[in-house]
A and B are shown apart, each in its own frame.
Chain A
């Protein structure tokens, strides 16, 4: 899986420009699913066993955070807005890439004290140009942070592991699953980082009975970190709630039962800041019972996100355990 993850995280795909990622996903998953289509918002729907059993939507978002050019000045410096939750402390000195293999570096105005993070309005991108004509980008162009993938011990470090690692888990699960008594709707969604938009419309179109999102979650295992009972290497996190969604208790129970039956380590997750595609799926049509398999991840929304290879493998195993047997939710 490492090779697949590396290809996915190094692909370019800020919210709204997920084409490169979608091409990789399609190439990987197409031989293992029965139907494949692209949604009006650019999401990829890959269906296993259409028409059979409980419809389970499995969502992982392809997009990543990034920047959008808002102005280019006479000296060729570009100003930008953020796409999704970009932190000011990750700006200065970082590199951003645009379509057509264009790279720029982020600088800040001198009014920003050394040691302080600039406000977005105080930062700019330098493309090595000295005029508007030389500047290789124009207003509206989308960029994403760039950083090579590395493996540290048993951990993967890269930009956009949020949520390419979820995408990789879904692809790998499809490969191992081959078939399912359920109708499994893999949905590789778009525009999650800017408001869960692709999942909202995909869920409306797919009209699932159950929704499962695959995404990263925060951990409480770093020095003086947040108070949260999730650690890297402790297994996939089964989400109970976050700030946007309440997992359906029946889905949580199902995940816990399947994990325990297959001796897969897991952690229970209560996340107090952040959310996933499950929030949008839950509110679709007449409501959809949802759950989330979260991959614990340190330094989320920085260019060096970190996940544990064992957690990734166990996330795949757990997803396969859930999908390979019939899923029914007892009515309360």
Chain B
């Protein structure tokens, strides 16, 4: 099997699992199975994040680097049952323009296939005629005369669009944000199994990033790593998109830069990318990065934090698109960063 095929097959498997914010159980269990053989200790934190520690070769007390990717996905929740239809509330930042016509699974007393539908035009307020329909008017049809028998308020609704392989080493599907980064961290752990690293590595799959950032706040406080690197997705370039906010698709990850990022971690990532000749673009983040890098930076006493992002097309739609090569590059880059951390690295993180 080509390495690309192994990466692809794990990613396809992961995005077919539900795991909406606050309900990450299925993906957490799958990642537990994946990371257990690649780590020395593995456990689940207090609110559901997965913590795997791979010990380094340095002398105790060893420093540790956290690699964090969120495992939760966006989706919907049943908010009301009306005349045989289901009304929904968003989980995470949904784009309602792409929802009508999407297949979904309603996680009721059993899993019910459903479709997102929009009401007929004449049933909508006048000012909405011929416009994208806001989420509060969209409905889910599960084809049952009385769904209340099987569905209750608060039940989850996940996307059911199957993964689609496109072109060469390109995958489309929902939840690639941020399962792609979980796969990158997995690739990093695999590579570190073959090479020496002085520091402990804490691979963390966080919960609730799309809603509350609770997983990263908790992980930062509980594990107290010396430094942290969040791994997430960012916007890939496309026609009509501003160049300064987007990144070439399939041309390597982005290295976050801004007040949310410690410049020393930024440099460590940049130098590692040069060593292994991975193309890397600077991503300027003037405010909150909108990723786990933010809560990690201010967890506990504060953690010097970096952010590596994989360019992704059509973010927060059921047809996100990612380059498998970028996922692999991100994994290799993470491994190189970790392996390059010397015992005295913390002494280089000065503000003067």
Query: Which residues of A line the B interface, CB within 8 A?
Result: 220, 227-229, 240-241, 244-249, 252, 267-270, 272, 279, 282-283, 285-289, 331-332
Contacts and interface: CB of A to CB of B under 8 A. Distances in A.
A282 B211 CA distance: 12
Given A227-B136, A241-B22, A270 B89 contact: yes
**Chain B contact patch, size range:** 35 or more
B19 to A, nearest CB: 12
A268 B154 contact: yes
Given A268-B154, A332-B44, A228 B222 contact: no
A287 B217 contact: yes
Contacts of A331: 44
Contacts of A227: 79-80, 87, 136
B47 interface: yes
A207 to B, nearest CB: 11
Nearest to A285: B221
Given A227-B79, A287-B45, 7 more contacts: A244-B212, A249-B23, A270-B78, A270-B79, A282-B47, A282-B214, A288-B46
B140 to A, nearest CB: 14
Given A228-B79, A268-B154, A269-B153, A283 B22 contact: no
B60 to A, nearest CB: 23
Interface in B321-340: none
Most buried by B among A287, A289, A332: A287
B25 interface: yes
A246 B154 contact: no
A332 B153 contact: no
Contact of B47 (A240, A268, A269, A288): A288
A270 B152 CA distance: 11
B77 interface: yes
A286 B218 contact: yes
B209 to A, nearest CB: 11
B186 interface: no
A260 to B, nearest CB: 12
Contacts, number: 87
Contacts of B153: 229, 240, 267-270
Interface string B127-148: 0000000001000000000000
Nearest to A329: B46
Contacts of A245: 212
B114 interface: no
B43 to A, nearest CB: 10
A228 B82 CA distance: 11
- List the 7 closest pairs (A to B, CB-CB), nearest first: A287-B218, A240-B154, A246-B22, A287-B47, A286-B222, A268-B153, A229-B80
A279 B212 contact: yes
A229 B49 CA distance: 31
B216 to A, nearest CB: 10
Contact of B218 (A220, A248, A252, A283): A283
A248 B154 contact: no
Contacts of A220: 80
A248 B23 CA distance: 8
A204 to B, nearest CB: 10
24 contacts: A229-B79, A229-B153, A240-B77, A241-B77, A246-B211, A246-B212, A247-B22, A248-B22, A248-B47, A249-B23, A270-B154, A272-B79, A283-B214, A283-B217, A285-B222, A286-B45, A286-B46, A286-B221, A287-B47, A287-B49, A287-B214, A287-B217, A287-B221, A332-B28
Contact of B22 (A244, A249, A279, A285): A249
A246 B74 CA distance: 13
Contacts of A286: 45-47, 218-219, 221-222
A282 B80 contact: no
Contacts of B79: 227-229, 270, 272
B305 interface: no
A272 B79 CA distance: 9
Nearest to A244: B212
A331 B87 CA distance: 31
Q: Which one of B21, B28, B87, B154 has the highest number of Cβ atoms from chain A below 10 Å of its Cβ?
A: B154
Interface string B71-103: 000000111110000010101000000000000
B208 interface: yes
B48 interface: yes
B90 to A, nearest CB: 8
Interface in B146-180: 152-154
A212 to B, nearest CB: 15
A270 to B, nearest CB: 4
Contacts of A288: 46-47
Contacts of B89: 241, 270, 272
A85 B215 CA distance: 28
A332 B219 CA distance: 17
Interface string B38-68: 0000001111110000000000000000000
Contacts of B222: 285-287
Contacts of B212: 244-246, 279, 282-283
A270 B88 CA distance: 9
Contacts of B78: 270
B46 A287 contact: yes
Given A240-B154, A268-B153, A229 B77 contact: no
A252 B80 contact: no
Contacts of B28: 332
A188 to B, nearest CB: 24
